[in-house]
Structure 1
Amino acid sequence: MPPKGHDKSVRRSIPGLPSLPRPLYGRTESLPNRALTRRHSHPWVQLSYAIQGVLEVQTAAGRFVAPPERAVWIPAGVPHRVFSSPHTEMRSLYIDCSVAGWAAQRCHVLAVNDLLRELIRTFSGVPVEYDQDGPHGRLAQVILDQLAEAPQIDLMLPLPQDSRLQQIYRSLEQHPDQSTTLQHWSDRFGVTEKTLSRLFLRDTGLTFRAWRQRLRLLGALTPLERGERVTDVALACGYDSTSAFIAAFRQQFGETPGEFFR
């Protein structure tokens, strides 16, 4: 997961496309190392998707995390950075706004079902300038129809805007296992704990405790996807026991770690 070791990531290039050759354009990449892009935006929609590995898209609003079977929808014009875990297999889509008028104009995570996954896999082998009136054009339309119906899921960490909360975020981002209380931070900043609690609710819509738990659990997805032991991941995230971590994971995602990555 990107939070730790951003400086060790390989910088990934951004395709210099003046325009899309077709309303739906597929891009395939194999990324052996942890990789990231600079902050950028596109005049088209981007579906950032990986059939293997974990992706994270970061905007000014938050961090959107997509393990396998999930994808991040990035509207046109939204500045963002894309992080990927080692050994990620990308199958991203670029979509002309003229064929995606049904989509919400905000970044979000989509569930990718078996059918949509196989459609995207197949589309990755289609010629760039495919016949829009032929079978490949019809395949593109089926993909768009499936994307329009794909459910949104909550795999997003809202980022605070207050400068003091941003300091808390950066500290927990680097050391999610720390048990520093909000009272500690309020003493450091010279404000009341109630003030910081109110600011967290205002900026993120979550209590500090719920926000920190989401930060930890989203950060756990990459090592879990790599096959690391649940016990080791739980300790690295600041949980005292594996059972407590699994309970929190189930509460957040509706499944145990084993079920989530099955």
Structure 2
Amino acid sequence: MSTKGHPVRTERIVPDIEQLPRPVYARNESVARDSQTVWHQHDWVQVSYVIHGMLTVYTEHSSYVAPPMWAVWIPKGVRHQVVTSDRVEMRGLYIESGQVHPLEQDNECRVLEITPLLRELICSFCTLPVMYDPASEDGRLVQVMLDQLKVARPVSLSLPMPTDPRLIRLCHELQLHPDDKRTLVVWGNLLGASEKTLTRLFLKQTGLSFRRWRQRLRLFSALRRLEQGEKVTQVALACGYDSTSSFIAAFKIQFGITPSEVF
């Protein structure tokens, strides 16, 4: 841990690739401890997926989390940073533009559900030679994998960040202390703004009310704690919930599964 209580992360190297050797290129990585990349962007689509552990993708305006049943779709040209938890097994895809048209209609990152079939397709593809033959059975496997990506269900696992300096300060404090229960009235007194002003800015800049944003932050924080093996009751209290039952209910509404089913 650093002197400020943040984990000390190793830097993961971003491969220096000018052009993909094939329309779809795989990256296998085993990371033994917390890591992060530098901020960067690609001339192709990236799908970041972990078969063990959890990753977070940060963009300039939001963040996206993904344990093993989800992956983060990063469009071409989007500046981002990938941060992983301890003991991560990553299976990443680099995909030329135009290969997965429905997902390329906008320039927004998103989190996609990884079905058991899609997981096996990704893992199988990552064992193929880099210069696989597109006309062979390997090429047909790639096409099936891309078809499955096209129909992958999007999941609401983004946390948009505001741009107002006062709200940035508030959000950073809540990221460090998700159990903080101070109201917007209290925050307004600290930040020199009325509750009404903060409420309006939060909705305008994030698309979420303060209450919903804080709940989503708490549940994202819970994912990290659950991945580290903490008990559900312990996680609920650490993330600001008064009871385990209310935490489980909120978790299931947000993610569609219970905390015990995530990892």
Alignment TM-score > 0.5, same fold: yes
CA–CA separation in structure 1 for the residues paired with 2:73 and 2:257: 23
Partner of 2:51: 51
CA–CA separation in structure 1 for the residues paired with 2:6 and 2:79: 18
User: 1:232 Cα deviation (Å)?
Assistant: 1.1
Partner of 2:86: 86
Pick from 133, 136, 139 the counterpart of residue 135 of structure 2.
133
Partner of 2:63: 63
Partner of 1:24: 24
User: 1:230 Cα deviation (Å)?
Assistant: 0.5
Pick from 222, 225, 232 the counterpart of residue 224 of structure 2.
222
Partner of 1:38: 38
Counterpart of 2:37 in structure 1: which amino acid? T
TM-score computed with the length of structure 1 as normaliser: 0.95
User: 1:172 Cα deviation (Å)?
Assistant: 0.6
Pick from 161, 164, 170 the counterpart of residue 163 of structure 2.
161
Partner of 1:204: 206
Residue deviations 1:127-171 (CA, integer Å, cap 9, x gap): 001111111111111111110111111011111111111001110
CA–CA separation in structure 2 for the residues paired with 1:215 and 1:160: 13
Partner of 2:126: 124
Partner of 2:246: 244
Unaligned 5+ segments in structure 1 are none
How many residue pairs get aligned? The number is: 258
Partner of 1:171: 173
CA–CA separation in structure 1 for the residues paired with 2:256 and 2:139: 37
Identity of aligned residues (%): 53
Partner of 1:97: 97
Q: Does the 8 Å contact 2:67/2:262 carry over to 1? A: no
Partner of 1:108: 110
Q: Aligned-residue CA RMSD in angstroms? A: 1.4
Unaligned 5+ segments in structure 2 are none
Partner of 2:191: 189
CA–CA separation in structure 1 for the residues paired with 2:218 and 2:124: 35
Stretches of 4+ moved more than 6 A in 1? none
User: 1:43 Cα deviation (Å)?
Assistant: 0.3
Counterpart of 2:73 in structure 1: which amino acid? W
Residue deviations 1:173-205 (CA, integer Å, cap 9, x gap): 111111122111111222210110011100111
TM-score computed with the length of structure 2 as normaliser: 0.94
Q: Does the 8 Å contact 2:7/2:34 carry over to 1? A: no
Counterpart of 2:82 in structure 1: which amino acid? V
